[in-house]
């Protein structure tokens, strides 16, 4: 194993930075390429076939070019749709992001859990299976909160976001039958932990949020145990499309230790 081989952390946009933060905390010495498919963002409204084709195609190209030691799909939408396919076609360990229903089921006291994800994520059989396996004795209410994805993208570009967006996400769960009993909310999209403070205000202090980032970091530590890491160059943020907004992201990327920005050729 080349000690300079990076971890490749992939998302449709900047959401995966919430996962990268936990990976950094666990493996500060690991070289990282953070790849954002901003050319395909958002994935939430896309069909399963479109998401699967993009994710498999891009990760194939990036693997050939950057020879990562491990790929982390830091995106619930991409993982719940395409994790199996990516593992079938790539000869690299792949860690996915799946909605944290299991820990939420262990934490809820009321027995009612909310789940915020993209439209594509909340309809996946993968989520049905997690619910059946870990939350069969709980009530799980789902809400597609795609507009939180653009809110997180705007926030990290330094733009102001209308707080009505957060109120709509909270209302989308609370106003469902039984929704007033929600005490635990699964943030089943990696963009949403970037809005934790805003969501906490919208839901109120009695609601706790759960996401999968720490578990993913633990899994990566386990899979890379015993490997050497050398960061030979500053870590790279890689985008699939040049856009004016990328310059506005530079401070946020630097905050996550990504000092170089490139567009995939
Ligand atoms: N960050 C992605 C997720 O975890 C989705 C955002 C998008 O709609 O592209 O689901």
Residue 68 domain-assigned (yes or no): yes
Look up the pTM and report it: 0.97
User: Within 10 A of 155 (CB to CB), how many other CB atoms are there?
Assistant: 18
For residues 44 and 16, membership in a common domain is answered with yes
Cβ(81)–Cβ(12) below 8 Å: no
Over 151-220, what HEC string results?
A: HHHHHHCCCCCCCHHHHHHHHHHHCCCCHHHCCEEEECCCCHHHHHHHHHHHHCCCCEEECCHHHHHHHH
Q: Which residue range(s) make up the domain with 228? A: 7-97+214-263
Pick out the chain residues at pLDDT < 70: none
For residues 115 and 15, membership in a common domain is answered with no
Place of tokens 């990504």: 258
Task: State the number of CA atoms in the 13 A half-sphere of 242 facing the CB.
Answer: 3
For residues 175 and 194, membership in a common domain is answered with yes
The pLDDT tens digits for 44-60 are: 999 999 999 999 999 99
> Which structure tokens are listed for 161?
């976001």
For residues 259 and 161, membership in a common domain is answered with no
CATH number of the domain to which 50 belongs = 3.40.50.1860
For residues 35 and 112, membership in a common domain is answered with no
For residues 91 and 114, membership in a common domain is answered with no
Between CA 244 and CA 6 the distance in angstroms is 27
Among 30, 51, 58, 75, which one carries the catalytic annotation?
A: 75
Quick check: is 189 catalytic? Answer: yes
For residues 118 and 162, membership in a common domain is answered with yes
Q: Residue 1 has what pLDDT?
A: 87
Cβ(101)–Cβ(114) below 8 Å: no
- Pocket probe mutation, ligand 1, options 42, 77, 169, 241, max atoms within 8 Å of Cβ: 77
Residue 241 domain-assigned (yes or no): yes
The pLDDT tens digits for 95-116 are: 999 999 999 999 999 999 999 9
Cβ of 153 closer than 6 Å to ligand 1, yes or no, is: no
Ligand 1 centre distance from Cα of residue 155 (Å): 15
Instruction: Note the residue count of the chain.
Output: 265
Q: Residue 160 has what pLDDT?
A: 95
Between CA 250 and CA 247 the distance in angstroms is 5
Residue 167 domain-assigned (yes or no): yes
Cα angle value 255/187/32 (rounded, 5°): 35
For residues 178 and 220, membership in a common domain is answered with no
Between CA 9 and CA 12 the distance in angstroms is 11
Residue 116 domain-assigned (yes or no): yes
Among 58, 74, 165, 189, which one carries the catalytic annotation?
A: 189
For residues 187 and 57, membership in a common domain is answered with no
Residue 183 domain-assigned (yes or no): yes
Between CA 143 and CA 114 the distance in angstroms is 8
How many domains does the chain contain in total? 2
Ligand 1 centre distance from Cα of residue 227 (Å): 30
Closest CA to 241 of 5, 1, 26, 36: 36
The number of the ligand 1 atom at minimal distance from the alpha carbon of 117 is 10
For residues 131 and 178, membership in a common domain is answered with yes
Residue 111 domain-assigned (yes or no): yes
Residue 2 domain-assigned (yes or no): no
Residue 252 domain-assigned (yes or no): yes
Strand partners, 95: 72
Quick check: is 56 catalytic? Answer: no
For residues 57 and 107, membership in a common domain is answered with no
For residues 37 and 131, membership in a common domain is answered with no
Cα angle value 186/177/78 (rounded, 5°): 30
């Amino acid at each position: 194993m080349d000690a300079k081989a990076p971890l490749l952390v992939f998302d449709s946009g900047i959401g995966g930075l919430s996962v990268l933060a936990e990976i950094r905390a666990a493996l500060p010495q690991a070289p990282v390429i953070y790849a954002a498919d901003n050319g395909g963002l958002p994935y939430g409204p896309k069909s399963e076939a479109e998401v699967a084709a993009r994710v498999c195609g891009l990760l194939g190209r990036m693997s050939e070019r950057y020879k990562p030691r491990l790929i982390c799909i830091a995106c619930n939408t991409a993982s719940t749709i395409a994790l199996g396919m990516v593992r079938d076609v790539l000869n690299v360990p792949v860690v996915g992001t799946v909605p944290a229903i299991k820990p939420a089921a262990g934490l809820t006291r009321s027995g009612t859990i909310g789940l915020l994800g993209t439209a594509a994520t909340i309809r996946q059989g993968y989520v049905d299976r997690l619910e059946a396996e870990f939350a069969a004795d709980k009530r799980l209410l789902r809400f597609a909160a795609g507009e939180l994805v653009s809110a997180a993208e705007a926030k990290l570009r330094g733009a102001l976001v209308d707080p009505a967006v957060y109120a709509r996400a909270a209302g989308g769960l609370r106003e469902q039958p039984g929704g007033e009993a929600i005490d635990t909310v699964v943030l089943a999209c990696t963009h949403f932990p970037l809005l934790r403070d805003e969501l906490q205000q919208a839901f109120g202090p009695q609601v706790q949020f759960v996401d999968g980032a720490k578990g993913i970091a633990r899994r990566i530590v386990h899979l890379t145990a015993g490997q050497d890491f050398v960061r030979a160059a500053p870590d790279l943020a890689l985008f699939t499309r040049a856009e004016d907004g990328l310059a506005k992201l530079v401070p946020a990327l630097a905050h996550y230790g990504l000092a170089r920005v490139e567009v995939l050729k």
